[in-house]
Amino acid sequence: MSNILIRNGRLVTATDDYVADIFIANETIQLIGKNLAVSAERVLDASGLLVFPGGIDPHVHLQYPQGPNRIVSSDDWLTGTIAAACGGTTTVIDFVEAKPGESFLRAFEARLAEAADAVIDFGFHLAFNRADDTALAEIPTMLDAGITSFKIYMAYDNIRLNDREMLVALQTLKTHGGLPIIHAEDHDVIVTLVVQHIAQGHTEPRWHPFTRPIAGEADATVRALTYAEIVDVPMHIVHVSTARGMQAIRKARARGVRATGEVCTQHLLLTDTLYDQPIAQAAKYVMAPPLRPEADTRAMWDGLREGILDFVVTDHCPFTMAQRLGKRRTPEFRKLPSGIVTNPPEPAWSDDVPAFNRMPGGAPGIETRVPLMFHFGVNAGKLSLNQFVNVTSTAAAKLYGLYQRKGTLAPGADADIVLFDPTREVTITAQALHQNCDYTPYEGMRVRGWVHTVLVRGNVIVEEGRFVGKPGIGKYLGRKTKDE
């Protein structure tokens, strides 16, 4: 498709709100104006629709072999990016995680090859999972490869850095200009509490949140931001789930630390009462950080509105119920466009239902983020339309070096555009979603407002809610640091 005219939409960006036409050619927005006098090969009538810059979800885990059992998250790069597109997201940032002994560069090249079928654009963070001299020396190479953000896990054996290593990693990132992004939970607290609970026979998922206490997140967040202050480096905190974690960001900013934070959809909309259910239900909510009490979810909304939390992500890391309950390592694919189930049955990886600490952790959400934020944010009066666009797209583009190519509607920007029907009412069901997962944490929620049409660099890939694109349209987004 070489050129497209979008007529009469109500264009909403993080700052503007006006009715205009958009003319697209060569994958980018060429012109924006009222009643544009241009002829186009295709005209999309956006009367009555909202027109947003495509959503950006900068925290997802597609096709991710998690933990010592290497259970692979159930969306691959095709199903996961189709789901994202159908939910109004046109860019994701996923992770490169080197295996023991593997160089970061090699891991990057392998990940890039895995992503070949992506239907939306994508970038990577690097999991900074070692801080030996070889690893530190590879940071400039990763920056050259377009990876400018580096995830440091304070929790999880094998991939975490201890405090001394974190400090050295931050110094290295300061030297080269990379952005540290931090999973802030207290490792020793978690490990100790998990061992104690399991020893007492507390194996059901209902015990999971007790092993990852609010105070542990708060303490780790304070510590990470203190290190940022000592090293004088900017720092982003991923998946803030508690009021206390958020306050740590607010206080660090007041001291001059360049701190940012993100919140996941699930920590805005779901609470820890969901753990008080039988195993097969509660297992859906084994994720880190865990779901929190309602007071914390309310605080997350306040933080978002006040800008202490900069944007909304999903941490999309789906596992099917068979995977969660120990019946499979690899996912069963039910929803490939071909309709073919590709993975044969395999032996269960666990004889019994695994204890909560051995279940794969994470939740699906890549497809529902934008509509949920529209409904529970804009319709509920918690966010303005401009704020909604900012937290689902623009703010992430700015932090991660994608603005103004992504995250806005302006001449010269990539034509990543969502036409959104604010009146369409949808009841969310796993059955109707495109993500490859047999449940959604948002099952049964009724929302008003749904994605109508989606363009990725001028390619129409979703039409009236149906995926019509082709595998491989998505491109790798090499990013640059601000100094370059």
Closest residue to bound Zn ion by CB: 315
In whole angstroms, how close is the CB of 203 to Zn ion at the nearest point? 24
386 with 17: CB under 8 angstroms?
yes
201/199 Cα distance (integer angstroms)? 5
Backbone angles phi, psi at 176, to 5 degrees: -100, -10
Quick one: 288 or 419, whose CB is closer to Zn ion? 288
In whole angstroms, how close is the CB of 59 to Zn ion at the nearest point? 6
Query: Interface with Zn ion by CB under 5 A: which residues?
Result: 315
In whole angstroms, how close is the CB of 83 to Zn ion at the nearest point? 17
Would you tell me how many other CB atoms lie within 10 Å of the CB of residue 379? Answer: 14
What is 342-389 written as a DSSP string? -SPP---SSSSPPPGGGS---B--TTTHHHHHIIIIIITTSS-HHHHH
Q: Sheet containing 149-153: give its strands across.
A: 55-57, 89-96, 121-127, 149-153, 179-183, 235-237, 259-264, 311-313
Quick one: 81 or 453, whose CB is closer to Zn ion? 81
Quick one: 185 or 315, whose CB is closer to Zn ion? 315
In whole angstroms, how close is the CB of 369 to Zn ion at the nearest point? 14
Quick one: 59 or 457, whose CB is closer to Zn ion? 59
In whole angstroms, how close is the CB of 356 to Zn ion at the nearest point? 18
Closest residue by Cα to residue 7 from 44, 53, 54: 44
How far CA 293 is from CA of 210, 213, 290, 312, in Å, comes to: 12, 11, 10, 19
Sign, Cα dihedral of 456, 6, 408, 267? negative
393/374 Cα distance (integer angstroms)? 12
239 with 264: CB under 8 angstroms?
yes
Instruction: Give 32's strand partners.
Output: 22
289/264 Cα distance (integer angstroms)? 10
In whole angstroms, how close is the CB of 423 to Zn ion at the nearest point? 34
Quick one: 197 or 284, whose CB is closer to Zn ion? 284
Quick one: 95 or 275, whose CB is closer to Zn ion? 95
Quick one: 264 or 415, whose CB is closer to Zn ion? 264
Closest residue by Cα to residue 56 from 35, 87, 96, 24: 87
In whole angstroms, how close is the CB of 181 to Zn ion at the nearest point? 10
In whole angstroms, how close is the CB of 63 to Zn ion at the nearest point? 14
In whole angstroms, how close is the CB of 284 to Zn ion at the nearest point? 17
75/82 Cα distance (integer angstroms)? 10
User: HSE (CB half, 13 Å, CA atoms) of 315?
Assistant: 22
Quick one: 216 or 449, whose CB is closer to Zn ion? 216
In whole angstroms, how close is the CB of 464 to Zn ion at the nearest point? 32
Instruction: Identify the DSSP state of 441.
Output: T
In whole angstroms, how close is the CB of 119 to Zn ion at the nearest point? 21
In whole angstroms, how close is the CB of 315 to Zn ion at the nearest point? 4
285/272 Cα distance (integer angstroms)? 9
Quick one: 57 or 315, whose CB is closer to Zn ion? 315
243 with 295: CB under 8 angstroms?
yes
Quick one: 289 or 469, whose CB is closer to Zn ion? 289
Which DSSP helix (H) or strand (E) runs through 12?
A: strand 3-12
What amino acid occupies position 96? V
What amino acid occupies position 194? V
Which DSSP helix (H) or strand (E) runs through 23?
A: strand 17-25
Quick one: 272 or 315, whose CB is closer to Zn ion? 315
Quick one: 317 or 454, whose CB is closer to Zn ion? 317
